[in-house]
């Protein structure tokens, strides 16, 4: 599993960095994204839905949101 720390970055950077990381990964690989940007709570699920990647988990611990994303399977 790859981890991406996007804490301290504001919209749209967490999603853009997640997209770049996922593009470098293999289908079925997982990315844990950490963000402190409140907009990520909306942006990441929308990004996953639109891109076909799977949002496996979403949780918040104090001011940090954690997202576990699985790269979409090859078609």
- Which one-letter DSSP state was computed for residue 20? H
Task: Choose, from 5, 7, 9, 11, the residue flagged as catalytic.
Answer: 11
Please state the length of the chain: 75
* Homologous superfamily, domain 2-70: TusA-like domain (3.30.110.40)
Is residue 50 predicted with pLDDT exceeding 80?
A: yes
The pTM is what? 0.94
Query: Using one digit for the tens of pLDDT, what is the confidence trace for 5-46?
Result: 999 999 999 999 999 999 999 999 999 999 999 999 999 999
Distance of CA 38 to the CA centre of its chain: 13
Specify whether 11 is catalytic: yes
**pLDDT of 63:** 95
**pLDDT of 74:** 76
Q: ∠ CA 50-37-39 to the nearest 5 degrees?
A: 45
**φ, ψ dihedrals at 54, nearest 5°:** -105, 125
**Given strand 30-35, what is the order of strands in its sheet?**
2-6, 30-35, 64-70, 54-61
């Amino acid at each position: 599993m790859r981890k991406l720390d996007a804490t301290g970055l504001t919209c749209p950077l967490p999603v853009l960095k997640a997209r770049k990381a996922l593009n470098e990964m293999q289908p079925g690989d997982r990315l844990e994204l950490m963000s402190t940007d409140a907009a990520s709570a909306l942006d990441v699920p929308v990004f996953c839905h639109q891109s076909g990647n799977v949002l496996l988990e979403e949780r918040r611990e104090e001011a940090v949101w954690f997202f576990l994303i699985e790269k979409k399977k090859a078609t």
